[in-house]
Amino acid sequence: MAVASKIPEVVLSSSSGSKGMPVIGFGTAADSNDGAILKSAVLEAIKLGYRHFDTASAYGSEQALGEAIAQALTLGLVSSREELFITSKLWPSDAHPDLVLPALQKSVRSVILIVKLYLPCS
């Protein structure tokens, strides 16, 4: 098995404080939404040292990512969800004032943790 390595981070600052974001992330968009394959890939990525995962509701990968993270916690591959940095995206169809918060809440429930960066998708 490969040895996990530390991926460099950039510090993002906001009014609520600073947070390190790994500069290399693991994308979860795929032609096939096979949850079992994605969970296995995410677990292997965590073993290799990845801590930044990119997803979006439209990818159909948020739930499988959340399940993989829960399994990684159970297996002791990460000690807490705080070790991970999750980026998700607001899909253009949800980019209306009354739809943004519900879309974010759906993503947070699916991934089962705090999304640390939520971007508009273009």
Q: Alpha carbon 74 to chain centroid distance?
A: 17
Whether the Cβ atoms of residue 33 and residue 7 lie closer than 8 Å to each other: no
The catalytic position among 57, 59, 63, 66 is 59
- Distance, in Å, from the CA atom of 87 to the CA atom of 75, rounded to the nearest integer, reads 23
Whether the Cβ atoms of residue 61 and residue 28 lie closer than 8 Å to each other: yes
- Distance, in Å, from the CA atom of 59 to the CA atom of 90, rounded to the nearest integer, reads 11
Whether the Cβ atoms of residue 77 and residue 47 lie closer than 8 Å to each other: yes
In the residue annotation, 59 being an active-site residue is answered as yes
Residues classed as catalytic: 59
